[in-house]
Amino acid sequence: MCAVVVQARKSGESPVELPGFLYGFYERKLLRSLKQDQIPRHIGVMVDGNRRWARQFNAPTSQGHQAGADKIHEFLGWCQELGVKVVTLYMLSTDNMNRSGEELDLLMGIIANTMDRLDEDADVSVHAMGAPELLPDYLAERLNKLTARTPVHEKIHVNVAVGYGGRREIVDAVRELLHDAVAKGRNMSDVADELSVDDISRFLYTRGQPDPDLVIRTSGEQRLSGFLMWQSAYSEFYFCEALWPAFRKVDFLRALRDYAGRQRRYGT
């Protein structure tokens, strides 16, 4: 993990202010350096730093959350341009549910509006990940509606992790596996003896999807905080200093360039 962090910092994580024409030139240079077969199929993103971004401008927390929501749509546009097929967004963890009621109410409303904006794009499919019973009814209903929708021409699949916890996901997967075994009349001793990694994977929230190739976390924090704990076993990690609302396309391209330069190893 330390080697990954050093690599990320060497790649120029801290925002660099450039004149407009130089910024555009640098962005195009980064784009040209990327080959299509080097683009991750599945990217997980921990959208971290909304509150700190707001504090920098002495703005209310809700403004930071709204800026973060706007950045999500911008980010998904970049992913579509580059051919990323699956994106998993860590928007609200089960631990975040301990925040003040006022902040949570505002945040839930912003997330609901974000879902409405995703619903406007007929080429985006959405899958909800998390515990719907922890969410207000109106938000759970929006997520269910989006999950049930099937786009005619899917350009990108978006997993929305809201009320999500990695440990809870694994517990839910094992619980569902056991219920399934009971329904089929299987002996529990046989289930235990024959249990495999693939058995549990088939009941995860992301069942049927490829594991993330790349996980990006903004805001300078260097931990997973329970995000895709099972699925990220062999993912590459990229930690960016920029706060999520300030995350630029050039920051994203740097992450992809860093990913393209790595030699992926599975199990070592």
**What is the pLDDT at residue 268?**
59
**Whole-number pLDDT of residue 138:** 94
- The pTM score is 0.89
- Please name which of 142, 204, 135, 144 lies closest in space to residue 163, comparing C-alpha atoms: 135
H helix count then E strand count, the chain: 10, 6
Which of 37, 50, 58, 96 is catalytic? The answer is 96
Residue 19: what pLDDT?
A: 63
Q: What is the pLDDT of residue 6?
A: 32
pLDDT digits (tens, 9 = 90+) for 10-40: 444 444 555 666 778 888 899 899 999 999 9
pLDDT given for residue 222 in this prediction: 94
**Residues β-bridged to residue 84:** none
pLDDT at 227: 97
Among 96, 166, 175, smallest CA distance to 134 is for 96
Ranges of the chain whose pLDDT falls below 70: 1-21, 267-268
Catalytic residue among 48, 211, 213, 251: 48
Contact indicator for 220, 241 with CB cutoff of 8 Å:
yes
Place of tokens 């994203």: 252
Going from the C-alpha of 243 to that of each of 16, 67, 247, the distances in angstroms are 14, 11, 6
Mark whether 180 is an active-site residue.
Answer: no
Q: What pLDDT does residue 171 have?
A: 97
What residues pair up with 214 in beta bridges, in sequence order? Answer: 43, 236
Q: What is the pLDDT of residue 20?
A: 67
Lookup: tokens for 14: 């801290």
pLDDT tens digit string along 75-104?
999 999 999 999 999 999 999 888 888 999
48 in active site: yes
Cα pseudo-dihedral 70, 73, 79, 80, rounded to 10:
-150
pLDDT of the residue at 22:
78
